[in-house]
Structure 1
Amino acid sequence: MTETVTIDQLAHRGDGVALIHDKTVFVPFTLPGEEVEIERKGERARLVSIKTPSPSRVEPVCRHFGTCGGCALQHMDAAAYRAWKEAQVAAALASRGLEAEISPIVPASRGSRRRAVLTAVRAGGRVLVGYHERMANRLVAISECAVVTPRILASLPDLTRLADKLAPRKGELRLTVLDTVSGLDVAAEGASGKAARDFPGLGRLAAEADFARLSVDGEVVIEIRPPALDFAGAAMVPPPGGFVQASAEAEAAMAQAVMEAVGKAKRVADLFAGSGTFALRLARAAVVHAVESDKAAMAALDRAWRQTPGLKTVTQEVRDLFRSPLRVDELESFDAVVFDPPRAGAKEQASELAASKVADIVAVSCNPATLARDLRTLVDGGYRLRTVQPVDQFLFSPHIEVVAHLNRA
């Protein structure tokens, strides 16, 4: 049975929200103020038709939008989309009683995402490569994508050939594709055992596709060229499938905000440092101590530092900052601290920082909710929130990166 409702607002994941008999119902692909026809199933609903469209509604730019789960907000015009993302940051801060002037969001460009995580499955005698449907296990085989770089998009036929060789009979193959300075770095996980051991065949396929590097389940099959990323003049080769910022332009915007906040600090701690996104840039002017739990990421940072002339000392420490945050006495020697944790935030580390005398702290986060929690801890410890810079790294998604600068009040 269908019913007609009015969308009141967008929830934090980008779904429209309607109130029906005092119950909240989430309707994807709708906008505030729209009158829509829906088919309800519990607290979620399927959009049947749009009776009164919002002035902010636009035509999606990708044919897969609405089935592919990769994007949630292609139907929203750029101005409304950016305003909504900025409002999410403001709401997260307000929920913790924090006030700060929020800078305009740094926008994302179409075709700028250099890192894509694709899934491949066997179905009906063929291999499908793409993304899962939203909130479903079904796979959408993509033929276009509005967010990834042109080189990743052009590689889909080669990736499909690779998946045809590696995908198990049952289950999924995961393909992490990184567009680097020297070509595509492809990391496959979940490969069928026999195919994964065919290094000569896989090497030929990678060479024909002109991949810079191919690895299977963490083991490098072939490296034709080191797949390097340019961190402001430092060439960093990440471990296979390792985490890096998804967009080079977003990374540059975040790094600029970090550098401006750190200022003339001479000794900086970079916590949750990854492979050196910020540490290698900071080392142009400061001595840096980088801390990260991933040994392979730390090794990649170390190699890049040693091979880049003109950098100041970058020391590395492999350490789980969730279980063992830097303590107050360990923080005493630093003029500034940068921390960029996973979505869970840095609750324990923020508590130690709040009790420290570090002059400047820069918090980087992909989760405004946990960021606001950690900022509240720091403000309660005597820090003043100076700047808040949102960055749109994941175009057409509800995700937001934020760089916040605090100093001692």
Structure 2
Amino acid sequence: MTQTLTIARMGHHGDGIAETPNGPVFVPGALPGEVVRGEVKDGRLDSFELVEASADRRPIFSHAYAECGVAPLQHWADGPYLEWKRDVVIHTLSREGLETEVEATVATPPASRRRIALHARRSPNGRVVLGFKARRSWRLVEITDCPVSDPALVAAFPALHKVADAFLTHPKSAPTLHATLTDTGLDVDVTGVEKRSGGPSADQIAKAITAAAEGGLARLSLDGDTLVMERQPRVTFGRASVPIPAGGFLQASPAAEAAMAERVVAAVQGTKKVADLFCGAGTFTFPLAEVASVMAADSSASSIAALKAGFATAKGLKGIDAQARDLFRRPLSPYDLKGCEAIVLDPPRAGALEQTQQLPGTKAHTIVGVSCNPQTFARDARVLVDAGFRLEKVTPIDQFIWSTHIELVGVFRR
């Protein structure tokens, strides 16, 4: 049955929500205050007629992105969109009984993202198509431009087409090209290539290497194993030039990374020794080492090796002691963290519960949590607050613009 609904608010997953006698109705693509009409099925209105638009609605930047759902909020004006992300953080913390100062969301500019993952398929006419999967579908939506990515990354799309072509000879191959823009050029790691039937042939590998050379790629790797490297991909963290391992993790946006690093360093000013846990290749380690000696730990041995190599390029830093260690299975104990006056954690989306539970037993007076998941951050924050820490403030950071994804930095004081 067709219904006319007024959108009351925005849900945490980016859907407009209308309140009805039969319960809430979720309306993807609708904004607060809008009036929409359509057929409701199972509490959702996935396709609607816009009867009355919000003054905060603006033209979208990419129809392909709208179809994929990778930027579901690109039609929302910046002000209310950024304030909504702040509200999501406030409400997520409140569910754990946490209240604190939540600063305004730090915006990230368009055309600044340095990495992208593109699926590759061959169309019925034999053409290579790069893109993202459509919302709720395996269908591939072709991407020819990307308003959130650095123009240099977009300019490399023709080269990526040629690389993908080399791996599309097997009908079951579904390659994904993970492209990262580094200081020394484009770093591409390919995953999803069919291996059960023997893997790519020597001819396929040779064709891919030729395509990488013609496209000027710095490195081409397959599932993290380097196929060819013309130049070592490097990124700058603080004063260090760090050789990033193939398939290694980087923050998506240098601007967002800089905003996070600025707040992390400011929170530990005046300390002599800091622990940087889940440190990766040194995103925060090197800025921290400008103000204190750092003990760094991460489960990735290749990232720790990169961090150590980067330390050799930097001058004027305090000491860095880095180790490879699984902080989920073997969290650092208070004894291991002896002498650390401040502790920084930047865990994966699952959070750092096992490691967090060890921190109240340390002598650290400051803990800084960097998180890509407000839910697990709030869960771990509850552990610290219950142990006598005060959550001083939280800063949301909009690293993945026009998405529902929220990064944040939270500062705790004992």
TM-score by length of 2: 0.94
CA 1:194–1:96 in structure 2 vs 1: closer, same or farther (change >3 Å)? Answer: closer
Displacement of 1:197? 6.0
CA 1:43–1:301 in structure 2 vs 1: closer, same or farther (change >3 Å)? Answer: farther
Q: Which residue of 2 aligns with 1:42?
A: 42
Q: Is the Cα contact below 8 Å between 1:338 and 1:361 reproduced in 2?
A: yes
Q: Is the Cα contact below 8 Å between 2:304 and 2:324 reproduced in 1?
A: yes
Q: For 1:34 and 1:179, locate their aligned partners in 2 and report how far apart those are by CA, in whole Å.
A: 40
Aligned pairs for 1:30-179 (under 5 A) are 30-124=30-124, 125-167=126-168, 168-179=170-181
Query: Which letter maps to 2:279?
Result: A
RMSD: 1.6
Displacement of 1:339? 0.2
Q: Is the Cα contact below 8 Å between 2:223 and 2:247 reproduced in 1?
A: no
Aligned pairs for 1:366-377 (under 5 A) are 366-377=372-383
Aligned pairs for 1:237-248 (under 5 A) are 237-248=243-254
Q: Is the Cα contact below 8 Å between 1:261 and 1:405 reproduced in 2?
A: yes
Q: Is the Cα contact below 8 Å between 1:354 and 1:379 reproduced in 2?
A: no
Displacement of 1:374? 1.2
Q: Is the Cα contact below 8 Å between 1:122 and 1:169 reproduced in 2?
A: no
Q: Which residue of 2 aligns with 1:378?
A: 384
Residues 288-323 of structure 1: CA deviation (Å, up to 9, x unaligned): 111111111111111111232332221222221112
Does residue 333 of structure 2 align to residue 321 of structure 1?
no
Residues 315-362 of structure 1: CA deviation (Å, up to 9, x unaligned): 222221112211222223201100011111111222211333211110
Q: Which residue of 2 aligns with 1:263?
A: 269
- Structure 2 spans left out of the alignment, 5+ residues: none
Displacement of 1:217? 2.3
The aligned length equals: 408
Q: For 2:306 and 2:319, locate their aligned partners in 1 and report how far apart those are by CA, in whole Å.
A: 15
Query: Which letter maps to 2:152?
Result: R
Displacement of 1:38? 2.7
Residues 52-104 of structure 1: CA deviation (Å, up to 9, x unaligned): 11111111011313212321100100001111011111111111121211121
Among all aligned residue pairs of Structure 1 and Structure 2, give the percentage whose two residues are the same amino acid: 43
- Structure 1 spans left out of the alignment, 5+ residues: none
Q: For 1:29 and 1:42, locate their aligned partners in 2 and report how far apart those are by CA, in whole Å.
A: 17
The one of 309, 313, 325 aligned to 1:307: 313
Please give the secondary structure, in 1, of the residue aligned with 2:208: helix
Displacement of 1:195? 4.6
Residues 179-207 of structure 1: CA deviation (Å, up to 9, x unaligned): 11111111111224235764443222112
Please give the secondary structure, in 2, of the residue aligned with 1:330: coil
TM-score by length of 1: 0.95
Q: Is the Cα contact below 8 Å between 2:351 and 2:377 reproduced in 1?
A: yes
Q: For 1:137 and 1:12, locate their aligned partners in 2 and report how far apart those are by CA, in whole Å.
A: 25
Moved more, 339-348 or 188-197: 188-197
Please give the secondary structure, in 2, of the residue aligned with 1:46: coil
Q: Is the Cα contact below 8 Å between 1:106 and 1:391 reproduced in 2?
A: yes
Does residue 284 of structure 2 align to residue 278 of structure 1?
yes
The one of 181, 185, 188 aligned to 2:187: 185
Residues 225-266 of structure 1: CA deviation (Å, up to 9, x unaligned): 111111122111221121110000000000000000011211
Q: For 1:82 and 1:156, locate their aligned partners in 2 and report how far apart those are by CA, in whole Å.
A: 30
Please give the secondary structure, in 2, of the residue aligned with 1:389: strand
Does residue 412 of structure 2 align to residue 406 of structure 1?
yes
Please give the secondary structure, in 2, of the residue aligned with 1:80: helix
